[in-house]
Amino acid sequence: VYLLVTPPSSIPRTTAINSVTLSAGLLSLVVQTVPGQPCVIEVTDRLEGGDWRVIDQTIGDGQSHTMQLDTQGAARFVRLRTQ
């Protein structure tokens, strides 16, 4: 599993990944959110020309949220995107 965090340059970098765990094929990201700011976990099979698919998403409320992804199967690239 590869993890890529990509906040837009116009948004202050206050969204943070507090922890990452992998247990029994489940990747869990604990994300500190920003109120009103969407956070999205996306995956793709390849970085170059790959289509990113939304796996989990939340709207920030200033609290920590656990976002999860099943890692069973083929290797994939994962990114946390803020909007």
- Note the pLDDT of residue 21: 92
pTM higher than 0.75: no
Low-confidence residues of the chain: pLDDT under 50 = none
Long-range pairs, 3-9, Cβ under 8 A, ≥24: 3/29, 3/78, 3/79, 3/80, 4/77, 4/78, 4/79, 4/80, 5/79, 5/80, 6/79, 6/80, 6/81, 6/82, 7/81, 7/82, 8/82, 8/83
- Note the pLDDT of residue 54: 92
**Cα dist from 4 to 41, 62, 67, whole Å:** 10, 22, 15
